[in-house]
């Protein structure tokens, strides 16, 4: 296995790992030789992923709520028992409800920021002692979004949260640079995930457009005229986790076909 791909000896924690980007990242990390804790609130998809990848390589941390510090601590303690300290943290859990700004309730705003931004803070603080003890080669990789680099209408809370994730990434990268821990953000454009599928179905239901017309709303921003695949995002995460990316720090890497430059 090449230096770029080999992650043997690493224990990775991936939040929001049950489907979409999180599941693709877990697959890539296991293939590269890492032990992976897959974390999420729903047990069934995590069980299916663990069966697919092999129970000797995957530990399931179900009922893992990034907004609940007690549940994070419990899940991390169980992960330690399974595979030891975490050396790669992938903060992927997130939600993206849409509404015009004037119809965005305080509850929606607070919930999105709690999951998408404060959740990154909570999990990173919990795992940070492991990462600092590992030092050289330890990684924090935050799955942000092009919404953290630009603006989109009707998802103001999501944009605010993801801008916050990018800012947190840059601040923490500077704090940890001398510790050997790198901190980077991956910023996908619209990606072919269940979240996008739900959004397309909602557009169809609300507007009467066809599925093809609804899909076009998401692909038009990408100069390549397509959705990003979860595997493309996972490939970038795999590179950032590798030794070859040891000098990449504090970056927000757009995976969007040229939408953001």
158 is catalytic: yes
Q: Is the dihedral of CA 244, 128, 89, 20 positive or negative?
A: negative
Domains of the chain, first to last: 11-191+229-255 (3.40.50.720)
**pTM of the predicted model as reported, rounded to 2 decimal places:** 0.94
Greatest alpha-carbon pair distance for the chain in Å reads 55
* Distance, CA of 52 to CA of 27 (rounded, Å): 9
Lowest-confidence segment of 4-13, 111-120, 247-256 by average pLDDT: 4-13
The active-site residue out of 59, 64, 83, 158 is 158
The rounded Cα 44 to chain-centroid distance in angstroms is 19
**Per-residue model confidence as pLDDT tens digits over 106-165:** 999 999 999 999 999 999 999 999 999 999 999 999 999 999 999 999 999 999 999 999
> Of 73, 94, 72, which is closest to residue 22 (Cα–Cα)?
94
pLDDT per position as a tens digit, 58-90: 999 999 999 999 999 999 999 999 999 999 999
How far apart CA 110 and CA 99 sit, in angstroms, is 14
């Amino acid at each position: 296995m090449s230096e770029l791909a080999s992650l043997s000896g690493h224990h990775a924690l991936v939040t929001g790992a049950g489907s979409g980007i999180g599941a693709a990242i877990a697959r890539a990390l296991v293939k590269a030789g890492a032990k992976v804790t897959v974390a999420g609130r729903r047990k069934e998809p995590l069980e299916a992923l663990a069966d697919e990848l092999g129970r000797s390589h995957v530990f399931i941390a179900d009922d893992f709520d990034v907004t609940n510090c007690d549940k994070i601590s419990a899940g991390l303690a169980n992960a330690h028992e399974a595979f030891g300290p975490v050396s790669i943290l992938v903060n992927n859990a997130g939600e993206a409800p849409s509404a015009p700004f004037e119809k965005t309730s305080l509850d929606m705003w607070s919930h999105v920021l709690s999951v998408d931004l404060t959740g990154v803070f909570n999990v990173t603080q919990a795992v940070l002692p492991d990462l600092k003890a590992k030092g050289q080669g330890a990684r924090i990789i935050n799955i942000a979004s092009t919404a953290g680099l630009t603006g989109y209408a009707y998802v103001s809370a999501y944009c605010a949260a993801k801008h916050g994730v990018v800012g947190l990434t840059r601040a923490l990268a500077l704090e940890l640079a001398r510790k050997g821990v790198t901190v980077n953000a991956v910023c996908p454009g619209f990606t072919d995930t269940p979240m996008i599928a739900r959004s397309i179905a909602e557009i169809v239901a609300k507007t009467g457009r066809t599925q093809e017309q609804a899909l076009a709303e998401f692909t038009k921003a990408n100069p390549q005229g397509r959705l990003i695949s979860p595997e493309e995002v996972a490939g970038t995460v795999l590179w950032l986790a590798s030794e070859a990316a040891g000098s990449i720090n504090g970056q927000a890497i757009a995976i969007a076909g040229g939408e953001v430059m």
